[in-house]
Amino acid sequence: MLTLTLADFVAARARIGQHIHHTPLLSSRQLSDRTGFEVRLKAEMFQRVGSYKIRGPLNKFTFLSDEEKRRGVVCSSAGNHAQGVALAAQIHGIRAVVCMAENATPAKIAATKAYGAEVVLHGQIWDEANEKAKELVRTEGLTYISPFDDPHLIAGQGTLGLEIITDWPTVDAVVVPIGGGGLISGVSMAVKSHNPKIRVIGVESSDGPAMKQSVEAGALVTIDCRTIIDGLRVKRVGEHTLSVCQRFVDEIVTLPDRDIFDAMIWVMERCKVMPEGAAAASVAALLHGLVKLPPGSKVVAVLSGGNLNLDRLRGLQWN
């Protein structure tokens, strides 16, 4: 079972620190008033590539052999992992191939190419693009970079949690969106290595709760994923991430896509920052009273990124 210590996250931060931003914790008076908690927003939309996804690949690449670096890497992604791998590969001088679903956000495709990666479009969901990436491992000898289920990647993502406890060591709870589980795995181990009493609450779309169903079943479950939110759209989480969530995540709550999108608009209007859909899941859980804590608790809501597809947002129609 994967267990990382505070020293592991400090070491990961030392490896990647020169290439990432220490993103701010933003106070939110309106969210605090609305919930009765003292709420701060971990604004990872100000990170390089617009999300936390640069952290993990940067750490992972420091462990590749010279031969693996020479052959290059491949990944699959809804967009943010693609950009993180592409920029990390550019920094390390490594060839990167990124497999993306055919319906991926055009802006994310363009950004990935701009960082120098080769983009291969395949399938309609991450899992299908992932099969293409695995095929390229077999046919071209590329090294596969998991979007969430790799110990070195999880350690890199967990540096976000290290920043939270550095900036607010007395925090009581951290609310984190869940897609495949790489972010919440790293964050949960990082903050609990500082203080095991810090509650970690995960948030998924009720239209695609792969982690919640797997935790409840006690084993990996492949679901019929119906969410349209890119960063939350996973049919099956990872072995490492499930194991970590079983041991370090206190609770997983779910909301429908519409409530998450409404929270995204709320954050734009009230907090004056622009989260993408997946990032707003943490705030949605707070707005809908799903986070049960004593009044006055110190709570961080992780805004995991800001790569928003405005064209898709304009086209949404709700019944």
CATH at residue 134? 3.40.50.1100
Q: Residue 319 falls within a domain, yes or no?
A: no
Is residue 114's pLDDT more than 70?
yes
Q: For 6-47, write each residue's pLDDT tens digit.
A: 999 999 999 999 999 999 999 999 999 999 999 999 999 999
pLDDT over 70, % of the chain: 96
| pLDDT for 107 | 76
Residue ending a domain, choose from 144, 165, 186: 144
d(CA 177, CA 282): 6
Is residue 129's pLDDT more than 90?
no
Which residue of the set 28, 51, 53, 108 is catalytic? 53
Q: How confident is the model at residue 78 (pLDDT cuts 50, 70, 90)?
A: low
Higher pLDDT, 78 or 105: 105
Q: Residue 23 falls within a domain, yes or no?
A: yes
Check if the beta carbon of residue 130 is closer than 8 Å to that of residue 161: no
Decide if 146 is catalytic: no
Is residue 73's pLDDT more than 90?
yes
Residue ending a domain, choose from 128, 144, 160: 144
Q: How confident is the model at residue 101 (pLDDT cuts 50, 70, 90)?
A: confident
Same domain, 72 and 85: yes
Residue range(s) defining the domain that contains residue 106: 54-144
Look up the pTM and report it.
0.93
The three-state DSSP-derived secondary structure of the chain is CCCCCHHHHHHHHHHHHHHCCCCCEEECHHHHHHHCCEEEEEEHHHCHHHEHHHHHHHHHHCCCCHHHHHHCEEEEECCHHHHHHHHHHHHHCCCEEEEECCCCCHHHHHHHHHCCCEEEECCCCHHHHHHHHHHHHHHHCCEECCCCCCHHHHHHHCHHHHHHHHHCCCCCEEEEECCCCHHHHHHHHHHHHHCCCCEEEEEEECCCCHHHHHHHHCCCCCCCCCCCCHHHCCCCCCHHHHHHHHHHCCEEEEECHHHHHHHHHHHHHHHCCCCCCHHHHHHHHHHCCCCCCCCCCEEEEEECECCCCHHHHHHCCCC
Is residue 235's pLDDT more than 80?
yes
Same domain, 37 and 63: no
Same domain, 172 and 129: no
Is residue 293's pLDDT more than 80?
yes
Q: Which residues contact 58 (CB under 8 A, 6 or more apart)?
A: 15, 16, 19, 20, 84, 88, 91, 156
Q: Which residues contact 53 (CB under 8 A, 6 or more apart)?
A: 77, 80, 81, 83, 84, 85, 147, 305
Residue ending a domain, choose from 90, 112, 144: 144
Q: Residue 317 falls within a domain, yes or no?
A: no
Same domain, 171 and 138: no
Decide if 113 is catalytic: no
Same domain, 122 and 36: no
pLDDT over 90, % of the chain: 85
| pLDDT for 264 | 96
Q: Residue 179 falls within a domain, yes or no?
A: yes
Same domain, 167 and 199: yes
Q: How many domains does the chain have?
A: 2
Same domain, 116 and 76: yes
| pLDDT for 317 | 54
Q: Mean pLDDT over residues 249-263, rounded?
A: 97
Q: For 221-231, write each residue's pLDDT tens digit.
A: 999 999 989 88
Same domain, 77 and 19: no
Q: For 178-209, write each residue's pLDDT tens digit.
A: 999 999 999 999 999 999 999 999 999 999 99
Same domain, 214 and 299: yes
